Structure 1
Amino acid sequence: MHAPPNAAGSRDIRDLLLDAAGLALDKLPMLHVIFDRLATNCAESLRQLAASQAYYSLSHVESGRIGDILDGYEGNAIAGVFHSPEWDSHVIVGFDRDFIFTMVEVLFGADGTEPPIDDERSFSNIETRIAIALFEQVAKALQACFALVSRATFKLQRQETRMDFAVIGRRNNLAVCAKLLLQAINRGGEMFVLIPQAALTPMRQQLASTTAGESSPRDPTWTKHIRGEVGRTEVRLRAVLEEREVTLGDAAALRVGQLLPLQATTRSRVRLESEEEPLFWCSLGQAQGSYVLRIEDAIDLDQEFLDDILPR
């Protein structure tokens, strides 16, 4: 007789099967949320260093073999290899040639009037040092963004310009690659983040669900603009002193000049509402020959409902 497999062994087999099949990106919406936040965080960090406005945007997220993805950047990028102790895995962040050249101009105060650099030369020491500084910023942004689903830190181990030296595992292993675009001074470039699927598999359940609090971050400029426009919207307020129900016959019998006695007095509360929505209880008064309202309490609709249905 064979002993039944234990639970731990069953989980290991399932993970191996998932690794072999690959993650379905359309079933991991949190990945797009995380990389959207990464673009926003990188842009915010860059605003503190550059005088010119620069924008990051998420281009797309794809999956593929590590070797195939890196081959597309051979001779055209600087790659930073990071280690994440919490994931027990490595991550690659890369900047293509246009990204590096654009970033150098932005950081050194160029305004875009000079023609862009079109050179296949090796990266200079200054360009490499700038790339290293940017790698550190991206590492902090990755840590903040992945905090939605997992605690992780990313430590830069080395940088490479030869993609075949950027080894983080077998080249035929599956990985997820996010590509982000940089736009500044009428030019731009591409940044990519490559994460082995084996590192993401343990958190696939967290990546498969989103909550209202995990939506893409709001752009502060647009938020301020929208708040300003909403604040200027005109609404109509109505003060209601008293309401009563009458029959249709009584309403039809109303005549011009007829007096309608009210039960309300000067001490009665006045309901302030807008668009049929009760807002505040007010007291009625006079000032400089005009009626005025003093706001006293916000209307609690739940309490008002209970007061109506419960006997007193």
Structure 2
Amino acid sequence: MTHRGKASTEADAHMSAPERLFDSAGVSLDRMPMLRVIFDRLAMQCSENARQLSTAPAYFSVHSIKTERIGKILEAAEGKAVVAVLHVQAWDARIMVGLDNKLIFALVEALFGGDGSESPYIENRALTNIEMRVAQKAFDLITRALHKAFSVIEETHFKFERVETRMDFAVVAPRNNFAVLAKLNLRILGRAGEFFVAIPQAALNPIRQSLTADRSNDAATPDPRWSKQIKTEVGKAEVMVQAIIEEDGFTLGDIAALKVGNVLQLKATPKSRVKLECNSEPLFWCQLGQAEGKYTLRVDDIVDAEQEFLDGLVNH
């Protein structure tokens, strides 16, 4: 018995009747709307993670999501891609992530300082050791991105197991069974590449209930690290404030008649409250004072903007 046939037989033997029924035909993806949300999040997270590889902007996008027989997926990848097998303990299953050679060549060029001015490298050949190491790093970033993407429905850990360049050894389920196949595009340095994620349909059984509930319109859960970072950076912003001791009205004639040496009489006293403003917006009422030869302000109360507006209407 061949390696491929043996793997298929053993996998079939461990499948329950519902799993065989579920995997006997491609199930409509319309019944699992959260998959689209998950793979969109995967593309976004991959773009974010790619910053660790290169300063060149990298943009990932979802090209397509469909069901396909595993054997057909492997045949299309033979000689054109390298595949990583990931184990998902919570599902008791394995999935595939495949990088096509064009994507790897584009990442290598960006990683080693390319600017996209050269013609893209398209030679069909076996990958070098350096290219395989770059592919390994890409698999690591995608694995972490998968964890983030699936966290929208539940905490899911993907454990890297191995890399395969021969598709006969990349089987994660019987070749005749269906898998959800998501293809994602990469654009970097004017280059284009592609990677795919293939998840056997039976592997999704443990989370099918969660995949059927469309949460795409739910409010996004804020990332506490980002919230803290944004709060810190916003807190560093410099603003100008001014203390208004007294405001009085003048006519244009009064201003035109002013001369050097004129004295403007203020009604304010040392006990008068001082208004603290920022960008013409009143903030606090303060008490004027002195300390170590400098004027000081002690915050006494918050300015009631609505009451201030009403008082202004009455006075006018």
Distance (whole Å) between structure 2 residues aligned to residue 214 and residue 175 of structure 1: 30
The percentage of counterpart residues that share the same residue type is 45
Normalization by structure 2: what TM-score?
Answer: 0.64
Distance (whole Å) between structure 2 residues aligned to residue 214 and residue 143 of structure 1: 20
Displacement of 1:18: 2.3
Write the mapping of 1:227-306 to structure 2, written as runs, cut at 5 A. 281-283=306-308, 284-285=310-311
Answer whether contact 1:38 1:141 (CA < 8 A) is retained: yes
Answer whether contact 2:22 2:201 (CA < 8 A) is retained: no
Aligned equivalent of 1:32: 36
Normalization by structure 1: what TM-score?
Answer: 0.65
What root-mean-square deviation, in Å, do the aligned CA atoms of Structure 1 and Structure 2 show? 2.5
* Structure 2 residue 73 is matched with structure 1 residue 69: yes
Distance (whole Å) between structure 2 residues aligned to residue 13 and residue 160 of structure 1: 31
Distance (whole Å) between structure 2 residues aligned to residue 132 and residue 117 of structure 1: 20
Correspondent of 1:129 among 133, 143, 165: 133
* Structure 2 residue 42 is matched with structure 1 residue 58: no
User: Could you say if the C-alpha distance between residues 88 and 142 of structure 1 is closer, same or farther in structure 2, counting changes exceeding 3 Å?
Assistant: same
User: Could you say if the C-alpha distance between residues 165 and 61 of structure 1 is closer, same or farther in structure 2, counting changes exceeding 3 Å?
Assistant: same
Distance (whole Å) between structure 1 residues aligned to residue 219 and residue 79 of structure 2: 37
Letter of the structure 1 residue corresponding to residue 218 of structure 2: G
Correspondent of 1:114 among 92, 115, 118: 118
Displacement of 1:214: 6.6
Answer whether contact 1:51 1:109 (CA < 8 A) is retained: no
Aligned equivalent of 1:139: 143
Displacement of 1:286: 5.1
User: Could you say if the C-alpha distance between residues 15 and 163 of structure 1 is closer, same or farther in structure 2, counting changes exceeding 3 Å?
Assistant: closer
**Unaligned 5+ runs, structure 2:** 1-15, 227-304
User: Could you say if the C-alpha distance between residues 286 and 63 of structure 1 is closer, same or farther in structure 2, counting changes exceeding 3 Å?
Assistant: closer
Q: How many residues align?
A: 218
Answer whether contact 2:22 2:202 (CA < 8 A) is retained: no
Distance (whole Å) between structure 2 residues aligned to residue 186 and residue 19 of structure 1: 39
Answer whether contact 1:19 1:201 (CA < 8 A) is retained: no
User: Could you say if the C-alpha distance between residues 29 and 91 of structure 1 is closer, same or farther in structure 2, counting changes exceeding 3 Å?
Assistant: same
**Unaligned 5+ runs, structure 1:** 1-11, 221-279, 292-312
* Structure 2 residue 94 is matched with structure 1 residue 104: no
Secondary structure at the residue paired with 2:86?
A: strand
Displacement of 1:22: 3.4
Displacement of 1:201: 2.3
Displacement of 1:13: 4.3
* Structure 2 residue 200 is matched with structure 1 residue 196: yes
Letter of the structure 1 residue corresponding to residue 311 of structure 2: G
Distance (whole Å) between structure 2 residues aligned to residue 118 and residue 19 of structure 1: 37
Letter of the structure 1 residue corresponding to residue 307 of structure 2: C
